Amino acid sequence: MSGVKVLVAAGFGINCQEEMAAAWKAGGADAEVVHLNELFAGTRSLGEFHVFCIPGGFSFGDDLGSGKVLASRLRFRRMPDGRRFFDDLTGFVGNGGFILGVCNGFQVLVKLGLLPNLGGEYEQEVTLAPNDSGIFEDRWVKLSASPDSPQWIRGLEKLELPIRHGEGKLVVRDSRIMQILAEGSLIPLRYADNRFKPTDSYPANPNGSNLQAAGLIDRTGRILGMMPHPEAFLDEMLHPDWGGRRRRKRRGKASKTADGLLFFKALVARIEAGVAEGQRANPSGNSDSHG
């Protein structure tokens, strides 16, 4: 196991924390499920970890828009000493920490302004709106990984992963932000057709996202959000075409490792390299991340 330590957030309607922790562990990290109230109370600290991960679920029932209430809780919650938790969170990234948000976690990061954060002021620049189909999409999709955005998923070009969301359509605030995203390397994953070519067409693009975006990465390369669930595909047996994949595998024409597991192995390798290069100080174990 690597020395990468991951905090997997729990509480307030998050419901994929155990699967997410298992995925990080399968990828080689040391993952621990921690209730967000422990962070707010100061009994646990982001400074103990290299990665802060917000899994999927239905935080606060998505009553005011998916992820909106939890994003407000993370932004405005005060710690016992009076400082904002959000200051700890941005300080964590500034100190070289990594953040992953999947599905509801991605919605939270977008509404916190952590993604894409082109202006550097943590203002919301994009949103995740209701799917164009008007229904909750629960199925598998194909994804094309951008070769220009290798920070997290180096070496992965084509992925198949499940989606489970009702509000996954990435909508960009204005044309300037749209242009920056289109021309930059901040879209690590795009919805793709059967040939793994990015597409706007339904059902291959399940929600109608601008720029076919299935995820975003920030300019530091340390914050990643995505709608598909890599933690739900750690074993080939879970794929809906498992039998066909087994036949192709016997003919030497298919991967022997599930795409989700490859994804987490790539993440852990990337983060471990960053830790080794001194991009992130060793977790201190202190309850005060500013200590």
Per-residue pLDDT of the chain (291 residues; tens, 9 = 90+): 669 999 999 999 999 999 999 999 999 999 999 999 999 999 999 999 999 999 999 998 887 788 999 999 999 999 999 999 999 999 999 999 999 999 999 999 999 999 999 999 999 999 999 999 999 999 999 999 887 665 666 678 899 999 999 999 999 999 999 999 988 889 999 999 999 999 999 999 999 999 999 999 999 889 999 999 999 999 988 988 888 766 666 665 556 789 999 999 999 998 988 776 665 545 654 434 333
- Which of these, 253, 223, 255, 218, lies nearest to 239 by C-alpha position? 255
Give me the catalytic one of 125, 137, 231, 236: 231
Catalytic pick among 50, 165, 229, 239: 229
229: annotated active-site residue: yes
Q: How far apart are alpha carbons 148 and 46 in whole angstroms?
A: 30
Which DSSP symbol is given to 213?
B
Whole-number pLDDT of residue 290? 37
Question: Using the 8-state DSSP alphabet, how is residue 77 labeled?
Answer: P
DSSP summary character for residue 60: G
Place of tokens 């302004």: 113
Q: Which of 103, 160, 167, 236 is catalytic?
A: 103
| Dist. CA 22–CA 3, nearest whole Å | 16
122: its two tokens: 């943590």
Residue 149 near residue 199 (C-beta atoms within 8 A): no
> What was the pLDDT predicted at 275?
75
Question: Are 93 and 220 a contacting pair, CB within 8 Å?
Answer: yes
In this prediction, residue 51 carries a pLDDT of: 97
pLDDT score recorded for residue 250? 61
Q: Distance between CA 282 and CA 280 in Å, rounded?
A: 6
Please give the structure tokens belonging to residue 138: 């629960």
What's the pLDDT score for residue 184?
Answer: 80
Amino acid found at 141: V
Helix, coil or strand: residue 22: helix
User: What DSSP string describes 194-229?
Assistant: TTS-B---TTTSSS--GGGBSEEE-TTS-EEEESS-
For residue 34, list its beta bridge partners.
Answer: 9
Question: pLDDT, tens digit, for every residue of 40-56?
Answer: 999 999 999 999 999 99
Calpha distance 81→99 (Å, rounded): 24
Which domains, from first to last, does the chain contain?
5-276 (3.40.50.880)
* Cα 182–Cα 204–Cα 231 angle in degrees, nearest 5: 85
Residue 228 tokens read as 């598909």
User: Cα(225)–Cα(171) distance, rounded to whole angstroms?
Assistant: 14
Name which of 231, 108, 217, 210 is nearest 159 in CA terms: 231
Classify residue 286 by burial, with Cβ atoms within 10 Å: 0-12, 13-18, 19+.
exposed
To the query of whether residue 231 is one of the catalytic residues in this protein, the response is: yes
> What is the structure's pLDDT at 98?
95
CB contact at 8 A, 160 and 142: yes
